[in-house]
Amino acid sequence: MEEPAVVTRGLTKRYGDLVAVDHLDLELHRGEIFGLLGPNGAGKTTTILMLLGLTEPTEGEARVLGLDPTRRPLEVKRRVGYVPDAVGFYDQMTGRQNLRFTARLNGLNGFAAEERIASLLEQVGLSDAADDPVETYSRGMRQRLGIADALVKDPEVLILDEPTVAIDPEGVAEVLELIRRVSRERGATVLLSSHLLHQVRTVCDRVGIFAAGRLVALGRVDELAARAGVAATTLEVAVDGDPARVEEALRALPGVRAVERDGRDPRRWVVAADGDPRPALVRALAERGLVLLHLERREEELDALYRRYFREAEPAGAGRGTR
Ligand code: ATP
């Protein structure tokens, strides 16, 4: 079997007490488009920097195209294109001049370089603006120039940090289509990071959901959406009646994992369960003649993530608090 394009094993980065990336195990197949997803501060950029050899792991290891980025950063940089979230260009220079500069840095000169640059500008839809200064470009145009810039060296892996952030919807569609084309036509492996799954989901073959430095879910978007439908639930419940009987009723619920007193009020409880035990809870209390005063689904971190990212995939009414 072909070696994966990117592998990480127990990859960890600590900044003092803060664990930015916590024992990450990941494998990216050759030619796939992989989305590293998570809210701001989840550790996505730190992971990318470790893959590029721009920061050293505290623990664990990474291999990019079989290379250790810590030991062979130059080779990794030669074969991996990187588009940071804020792409830096010489603003007074034109798009073409900026690409020429990158080409020269990569040992490409003369006619071959000019031809390649023209073709890249064409591919990213910037032929008409090629000779305008970059300071006149929109954010979307800069992003597309960033992709062209990363493609100058014809990389086997393309890494993009938040490629769709701060771009208007039309620009987002163009950037995603470009990523798809790069993957298809060049067979490049693409790793993109985003905090907006709903934007990038259509383009990703697989995604990993990252929260506080840990990978909390990994798979195809449809698989994860299906799994999110049965994500664990935490309920805040208030019941009028004998606490011992209330506890007995709550503990008998299907999929129940924990039942705890809230502490602030003897009538209040917190129930954690697999699936959604709310219909069973309402029935069980009614059967015992106990009065349900309050029932609310708590927004757990993971749950909130799923709800935000997989809103469209959620069955109607699922996950909503019942009051
Ligand atoms: P964002 O999209 O906001 O960049 P992210 O998922 O890429 O989010 P990282 O930038 O990797 O997250 O940051 C992960 C955590 O590590 C954050 O809490 C951040 O404050 C912290 N962090 C990142 N770089 C450093 C650094 N050089 N020194 C100290 N802490 C850092």
Q: What is the CATH number of the domain that holds 183?
A: 3.40.50.300
Is pTM beyond 0.85? Reply is no
Q: Where are the alpha helices (DSSP H) in 89-200?
A: 95-105, 110-123, 139-151, 169-186, 197-200
**For ligand 1, atom 9: residue with the closest CA:** 43
**For ligand 1, atom 14: residue with the closest CA:** 43
Q: What is the chain's pLDDT, residue by residue, as a tens digit (323 residues)?
A: 678 999 999 999 999 999 999 999 999 999 999 999 888 888 999 999 999 999 999 999 999 999 999 999 999 999 999 999 888 899 999 999 999 999 999 999 899 999 999 999 998 899 999 999 999 999 889 999 999 999 999 999 999 999 988 788 888 888 899 899 889 988 999 999 998 777 787 789 998 988 888 888 888 876 775 565 544 577 899 999 999 999 999 999 998 888 988 877 889 998 988 777 899 999 999 999 999 999 987 755 444 554 555 443 333 333 333 32
- Regarding whether 260 and 169 lie in a shared domain, the answer is no
> 76 CA to middle of ligand 1, Å?
22
Cα angle for residues 22, 28, 34 (degrees, 5° grid) = 90
> 19 CA to middle of ligand 1, Å?
10
**For ligand 1, atom 2: residue with the closest CA:** 40
Can you state the angle between helices 139-151 and 110-123, rounded to 10 degrees?
140
Q: How many domains does the chain have?
A: 2
Q: For residue 276, what is the domain's CATH number?
A: 3.30.70.100
- Which mutation among 36, 37, 45 tests ligand 1's pocket best, with the greatest number of atoms within 8 A of CB? 45
- Regarding whether 172 and 75 lie in a shared domain, the answer is yes
Rounded Cα distance between 5 and 277, Å, is 42
Q: How far is CA 18 from the centre of its chain?
A: 20
**Ligand 1: does its nearest atom lie under 6 Å from the Cβ of 44?**
yes
Paired residues of 210 in beta bridges: 215
- Domain residues for 272? 229-303
- Are 145 and 98 in contact by the 8 Å Cβ rule? The answer is yes
